[in-house]
Amino acid sequence: MPEVKLSTISKHYDEVIAVDSVNLTVHNGEYVALLGPSGCGKTTTLRIIAGLTLPTEGDVFIDGKHVTYAPPGNRDIGFVFQHFEIFPFWDVWDNVGYGPKLRGLDEIEIEKRVWEALKTTKLTDKADNLPDELNTPELQRVGVARALATGARLMLFDEALGALDPKVKAIFQHELRKIVKKNKLTAIHVTHDQQEAMAIADRIIVMRKGRILQIGKPTELYYKPNDIFIANFLGESNFIEGVVSKVTETGSEIRLRDGSILRTDEKAIKGGRRVIISIRHELLKLQPFERFSALNFIPGKVIGYRFLGDRHSYEVKLDAGEIVGVKEFARAPPPFKLEDPVTVRMDTSLAVLFSYPSNGLAPHLSLE
């Protein structure tokens, strides 16, 4: 059964290091997302697994076999491309049948496989159509059917849903996961869309600048990011600067620049340190300005507002200096106007503390 293992894989293009000693194990039957901004090396990593790109260093094992230099055809993989690459001169049936044919199967077996793949992807009525007669979602299905028909147990998806409209995409995420799980396949899914990664994968591997930053379940990455970049890349986070004023048995207190205090459950290493508190938009609440100050109640002023349908999204300038985003469920028209003084109540139970980076915050928030 397919288990993918990468051991210190690197890929250099002249001066550029696309992938930088990546170690990774994908277990049998797992659906894994490779997530990262464009240019982070995720597609290169996938192509190295597929054998379309040869690594400069390191080894690839599929199913325990060393396949680093084996051609793609010997790896027993199914690959779905971003732009699908459905061969324009064949109809759907021939496109899907190409893989089984290359495996030297007899006619009956080929037919069985193609039919099965078309049924799984709901394409049976399109079998005789040429690619230019299909729309994008249909082409996407053909891409998946073609990969399935090879009989491969390992599916590699390279931004395979990237070309679809948002609504269609959401449906396909669900379907793709269902197909993989139902057929007990292993899947590695490259995407730059954090929502897609969270919706589709058992585990997410976050890459940046050729390196793996963190591997974990979606909830782990969301609530316990080990890097400011991940806190910023997944979901929407605010980053507030402060200094650790007190470390207790149950947590720590952080003094912001205007003197107000945030208490978190997370223990800082030691007092006096400059830190960044990362706290998600949806964990902040606005209430009318109150003169008295208390723990986790930070004063500020509304400076921006957008209506998102199900949410109100505010921009608030804290007296401490930071501008934070606040998201609240929209049950009624927005209770605050621009320029309203407010108090921001921060639910810090899920906030994360980072020590202040030596090279400043900006490089860690840059999305590349």
Residues that bind other proteins (CB under 8 A): 50-52, 71-73, 77-79, 81, 83, 85, 87-89, 98-99, 101-104, 146-147, 150, 156
The nearer residue to other proteins, 49 or 262, going by C-beta atoms, is 49
Smaller CB separation from other proteins, 50 or 284: 50
Rounded CA separation 57/161 (Å): 30
d(CA 309, CA 226): 32
**Which whole-number Å values give the CA distances from 47 to 6, 186, 225, in the listed order?**
12, 16, 27
Give the residue with the Cβ less far from other proteins, 86 or 228: 86
| Closest CB to other proteins among residues 86, 316 | 86
**DSSP 8-state secondary structure symbol assigned to residue 294:** B
- How many other CB atoms sit within 10 Å of the CB of residue 263? 17
Contact, 145 vs 98, CB < 8 A? no
At closest approach, how far in Å is the CB of 110 from other proteins?
A: 11
Q: 100 vs 299, which CB is nearer to other proteins?
A: 100
Q: Which one, of 172, 198, 208, 181, lies nearest residue 45 by Cα?
A: 208
Task: Provide the minimum distance between the beta carbon of 133 and other proteins in the complex, in angstroms, as a whole number.
Answer: 16
186 vs 105: CA distance, rounded Å: 23
As measured in angstroms, the least distance from the Cβ of 84 to other proteins is 8
Rank residues 36 and 100 by Cβ distance to other proteins and give the closer one: 100
CB of residue 104 to other proteins, shortest distance in Å: 5
Residue type, 250: T
Closest distance of CB 38 from other proteins, Å = 17
For residue 48, the Cα-to-chain-centroid distance in whole angstroms is: 20
Pairing verdict, β 186-191 and 154-158: parallel
Q: How far is the CB of 75 from other proteins (least distance, A)?
A: 8
Half-sphere exposure at residue 260, Cβ-oriented, CA atoms within 13 angstroms: 23
Decide whether 101 or 209 has the Cβ nearer to other proteins. Answer: 101
CB of 333 to other proteins, least distance (A): 40
For residue 189, give both structure tokens: 């899914």
Q: How many CB atoms lie within 10 A of CB 274?
A: 12
